[in-house]
Structure 1
Amino acid sequence: MNFQQYPFPSQRMPVMACNGLVATSQPLAAQAGLQMLQNGGNAVDAAVAAAAVLTVLEPTSNGIGSDAFALVWDGVKLHGLNASGRAPQALNAVDVRAQGHTTFPREGWLPVTVPGAPAAWDDLNQRFGRLEMSRVLAPAIAYARDGFPVSPIVAEYWALAADRFLPLRDPAVSGWASTFAPGGQTPQAGQRWTSPGHAKTLQTLVDRGVRDFYEGEVAAKIIDFAAQTGGLLTAADLADHHNQWVEPIGVGYRGYEIWEIPPNGQGLTALIALALLEGFDLASFPHGSEESIHLQIEAMKLAFADAERYIADPDHAAVPVAGLLDPGYIASRRSLIGLEARWPEAGRPPEGGTVYLCAVDRDGLIVSYIQSNYQGFGSGVVVPDTGIALQNRGSCFSLEPGHPNEAAGGKRSYDTIIPAFLTRNHQPVGPFGVMGAFMQPQGQTQVVVGTVDYGLNPQAVLDAPRWRF
């Protein structure tokens, strides 16, 4: 890994430290994470604090109503947390098709699934954290209550969201305007923005415990609004939610190991692409060359073809993870990659809008964490006086009859958010992730290729131009 060469114009240098690091998309969120480390907390405390702050500072990408996934290295073992929520039990694909939909709607109550992010904060805090939740959520509460300057990129996406939501006449979406665009106006870059409802909800989670979101006062507000505006979500749907600790899945790549959360997340897509690419000598071509990029894109096409056909909730459909990563199957799929671009179909394997952040502390605890409302502000459903914008993750469901990812009550949809982790000889190299829905496995593949095949340092590999299929 070359720390002396900076091949891209940004000239940003890698950040190095001895006692801990926090990396996020927003400096104030990173500062909140570092504050936890300075106050005696660990990397998990830092990650949860940063994640909570980002729900306030970047509502265009995530919120209290988000899903989340995490990978945690505890010094010995890598742990996975799937904090994606299920569809309401009353959801039925037949009913959605009967309403005239051929693809799943993006706005309103139909795409809303149970948010898993609040429970993720609690699960991580309970299992690995050192600090009380009151201290961990304090920075987020302060920014929501006292305000923060809106960053230029967030202001831009906020205005785009207004173009999407303000014309809608769905009563379920009416709360978006009053909460995020009072008077029909969104905040300008640099404007101080406060979110009093958001602050109140976070304080309730501190005072009453995070389960209040699922079974208490906050849950009642969500369910009351659903009942008033035609939502399918019930008190039982919220109360039944519990996240899952899972075993990460991985592949070897030129002496390294890449780890992902297993389905229903799409991390498997990146693993398939990298398994395909291991059969090519990418380093024989210059970084960014058309030959290298062509091979990467063709591998990603094949990976997506299989992912879109097979990735689903494993509690409702058999997902052939081992078959899709089987060396023989990978070799047969690799043989489809030639000198010309092609549009592949799924094979038959043997049976068998987002924020990303990471943190590490002096003791070697490492967190790779991702959180999302899916598409900017999610469904547009905002529970009045709570700051809770509910995700639209359900729009990732298929309406194709019999598809493994077909919408159904109590089911988790195909999920695009994927934290990743790189090891060598099963010892940590570091966490990594990419924001941007279906760009995530594509970006992750490019990060691994840039790191392993071309020796780019972490800052350079993030600054490198990227292709997108």
Structure 2
Amino acid sequence: MRAGPVVGTRTMVVSPHYLASAAGARMLERGGNAFDAAVAVSAALAVVYPHMTGLGGDAFWLTFVPGEGRVRVYNGSGRSGSRVHRGRYAGMEAIPRRGLGAAITVPGMADSWAAVLAEYGRLPLAEVLEPAIRYAADGFPLSSDQHQGTLLAGGALCPEAAAIYMPGGRIPEPGERFRQKELARSLSAIASGGRDAFYKGEIARSIAEGMSRSGGLLTAEDLADHAGEWTEPVCTDYHGLRVYQAPPNSQGFAALETLNILENFDFRSIGHGTYEYYHLIAEAIKLSFRDRDAYLTDPAFSPVPLERLLDKSYAAGLAAAIMPDRAASLASAPTGRDTAYAAVVDGDGNAVSFIQSLYFEFGSGSAPGGTGILLQNRGSFFSLDPGAANTLEPGKRTFHTLMPAIACRDGRPVYLYGTQGGEGQPQTQTLLLTRMLHYGMDAQQAVAEPRFVWGRTWGEPTEALTVESRVPEEVRLRLAAAGHQVRTVRAYDGLAGHAHAIAIDGEGFRSGGTDPRSDGAAIGW
């Protein structure tokens, strides 16, 4: 394991797969900027981490340009189809988690690539997508993470997808050359035809026809009508930092609410890695999740009262309710975990923090139309309860777990950070930020230290506090004595997610940290 961070004097790329980081670095070497590099990383991840992310999924982007002096958000999440409504699931308690019944939201990723490059990029889309196309066509060494993901979720793949990810009925071994010819053709079509090749051209027609043949609900019109949007972030001030997140339908505000609660405690008197540290953060997370679960959805359909939820006096009241020796009882809703976070900073100070996902491993498990594109199952998170804020309706964005983060000091980014892991994202982000800010850890140490995840499951709601075995036994025993339902997992367990971070110091040096639980790499110079 790397002992310290990679430090660059001008540039830094971090991602959960070394080949994706290399694709981004290649764009910077060719004269591209952080935005060209970020899209190259995103596209490469869609190839080399196909169980985590892909063209059939969504993406959220936080951007910073020194000349603008502000953080912006691109919401690259898709809406439910025009024919999708609760009546389609009559007699069911919930939307199926897999299959075409779960593939009910339009993928937003390809649109987000075009939008980010159109706004800020220097290089043409075809050049930016070249590494991803080559990885797909020529193959790459299959990661142990993909192998494990296929062992876990391969049974959920439809025959068309199984033929790609389990060729000949077997799961490829780590290190085998893995090719995705159909995906290479789709990426090549986008490289030559732009975003419309995906949403209005051959790819859209193939997906729509495949959906129609198999009883899916998305149509060619749904794909053609899709558009992401530039919007303003939500933010809070925390110990001299201004911390930015994507607004609803992202869960990012839950991390901000958590920080507002923690601001009422003195971390100078709380040792890192102690019972007090883990207990306090877990309890603050529970309180913010209670609000998140009550309100988060597409604000175009149901308002999210952010002014109240992010009010400092409201947070102070929540902080006063935390008991130092007793865990509150609150179950978390089940969520997916498989996501890919990455970040890029270039020599001009441009910065991109972004995250993308199919939701569960391999998403819906469906890849209709011979495109090689797995469709996400993000829409399965909609509720069938007509009284719920996140109830299923046509043309609606669902409650979304994706949430990249940027923290600024004096108007400049100092931390870019995020993680894989659905329910774990606000939690791990809080661990990363407090470790770097309060305890002086570098980016690599912050992501490598032991972690916990409260809740998060694909099955029933849970109160479990999943803790890595590297957390000292006496700390775990005290957490259990306080009422936490402690579940111990192995050191560096993938259940803790794949986190990555870039820290920029007063000298302008870019320090990159990638998670030892992933196949990632930090590349900077």
For Structure 1 versus Structure 2, the TM-score category normalised by the shorter chain is over 0.9
Aligned counterparts, 1:69-468, within 5 A: 69-75=60-66, 76-96=69-89, 98=90, 100-112=91-103, 113-165=105-157, 173-339=158-324, 340-344=326-330, 353-468=338-453
Structure with greater strand share of residues: 2
Counterpart Cα distance in 1 of 2:99 and 2:330: 34
Change in Cα spacing, 1:95 to 1:37, as seen in structure 2 (3 Å) is same
**TM-score after normalising by structure 2:** 0.83
Query: How many angstroms does 1:327 deviate by?
Result: 2.0
C-alpha deviation, 1:90, in angstroms: 1.2
Aligned partner of 1:175: which letter?
Answer: E
Q: Name the structure 2 match of 1:5.
A: none
Matched residue, 1:169: none
Q: Is the 8 A contact 2:206 2:370 kept in 1?
A: no
Q: Structure 2 counterpart of 1:293, which letter?
A: Y
Aligned-partner residue type, residue 159 of structure 2: S
Letter of the structure 1 residue corresponding to residue 21 of structure 2: A
Kept in 1: contact 2:82–2:222 (CA 8 A): yes
Counterpart of 2:8 in 1: which secondary structure?
Answer: coil
The runs of 5 or more residues in structure 2 that have no matched partner are: 333-337, 455-525
The equivalent position to 2:16 in structure 1, one of 18, 25, 33, is 25
8 A contact 1:179–1:382 mirrored in 2: no
AA at the equivalent of 2:82: Q
Q: Distance in 1 between matches of 2:159 and 2:239?
A: 52
Distance 1:345 1:459, change over 3 A: closer
| C-alpha distance after superposition, 1:224-262 (max 9, x if no partner) | 001100011111111110001110111111111211000
Counterpart in the other structure of 1:34: 25
Q: Matches of 1:332 and 1:13 in 2, distance apart?
A: 39
Q: Whole-Å Cα distance in 2 between the matches of residues 269 and 392 of structure 1?
A: 22
1:11 Cα deviation after fit: 4.9
Q: Matched residues in 1 for 2:76 and 2:3: separation?
A: 33
Q: Which amino acid aligns with 1:278?
A: E
**Deviation at 1:104?**
2.3
Task: Flag the 1:178–1:211 CA change in 2: closer, same or farther, 3 A.
Answer: same
**Structure 2 residue 46 is the aligned partner of structure 1 residue 55:** yes
Deviation at 1:331, TM superposition (A): 1.9
SS at match of 1:137: helix
Q: Give 1:122 deviation, angstroms.
A: 0.5
Question: In 2 relative to 1, CA 148–11 (structure 1 residues): closer, same or farther, beyond 3 Å?
Answer: closer
CA distance, structure 2, for counterparts of residue 405 and residue 425 of structure 1? 37
Look up the SS of the partner of 2:299 in the other structure: coil
* CA distance 1:223–1:311, shift in 2 (3 Å): same
Give 1:95 deviation, angstroms: 3.1
Moved beyond 3 Å, runs of 4+: none
- Alpha-carbon deviations, 1:202-237, whole Å to 9, x = none? 000111122121111110001000110001111111
The C-alpha deviation readout for 1:39-75, integer Å capped at 9, x for no partner, is 0100011010011011110101011101000001111
Tell me the secondary structure at the aligned position of residue 211 of structure 1.
Answer: helix
User: 1:126: Cα distance to partner?
Assistant: 0.5
Q: Aligned partners of 1:321, 1:234: CA distance in 2, in Å?
A: 34
Could you say if the C-alpha distance between residues 190 and 11 of structure 1 is closer, same or farther in structure 2, counting changes exceeding 3 Å?
Answer: closer
Greater Cα shift, 375-384 or 190-199: 375-384
The answer as to whether partners of 2:211 and 2:369 remain within 8 angstroms in 1 is: no
* Cα distance in 2 for residues equivalent to 1:174 and 1:323: 48
1:17 Cα offset (Å): 1.1
**d(CA) in 2 for partners of 1:81, 1:19:** 25
Give 3-state SS (helix, strand or coil) of 2:370's partner.
coil
For residues 422 and 450 of structure 2, what CA distance do their matches in structure 1 show? 18
Q: Could you say which residue in structure 1 is the equivalent of 2:489?
A: none
- Using the alignment, how far apart are the partners of 2:425 and 2:222 within structure 1? 29
**TM-score normalised per structure 1:** 0.93
Give the Å deviation of 1:420: 0.4
Q: Deviations over 1:152-181 (max 9, x none)?
A: 12211122221333xxxxxxx331212221
Partner SS for 2:7: coil
- Give yes or no for contact 1:109–1:379 (8 Å, CA) kept in 2: yes
Q: Which segment drifts farther, 145-154 or 175-184?
A: 175-184
Work out the CA distance in 2 between the residues paired with 1:357 and 1:129: 17
Match of 1:350 in 2: none
CA distance in 1, matches of 2:235, 2:350: 20
Contact map agreement 1:305 1:345 (CA 8 A) in 2: no
Alignment partner, residue 349 of structure 1: none
CA contact (8 A) 2:161 2:372 kept: no
Contact 2:98–2:156 (8 Å) recurs in 1 = no
**1:292 counterpart SS class:** helix
CA contact (8 A) 1:269 1:303 kept: yes
CA distance in 2, matches of 1:186, 1:101: 33
Q: Is the 8 A contact 1:354 1:372 kept in 2?
A: yes
Asked if 1 retains the 8 angstrom alpha-carbon contact of 2:53 and 2:362, the reply is: yes
Q: Please tell me whether the aligned partners of residues 383 and 392 of structure 2 are also in contact (alpha carbons under 8 angstroms).
A: yes
* Count of matched residue positions in the alignment of Structure 1 and Structure 2: 445
Once the two structures are TM-superposed, the CA of residue 30 in structure 1 deviates from its matched residue by: 0.5
The Cα shift of 1:12 comes to 2.4
Contact 1:275-1:325 at 8 Å conserved across structures: yes
Q: Which digits, 9 at most, give the CA deviation of each residue in 1:268-320, with x for residues without a partner?
A: 11111111000011231110100111111000000111101101001111111
Which segment is superposed worse, 333-342 or 27-36? 333-342
Q: Percent identity?
A: 40
2:415 partner SS: strand
SS of aligned partner of 1:446: helix
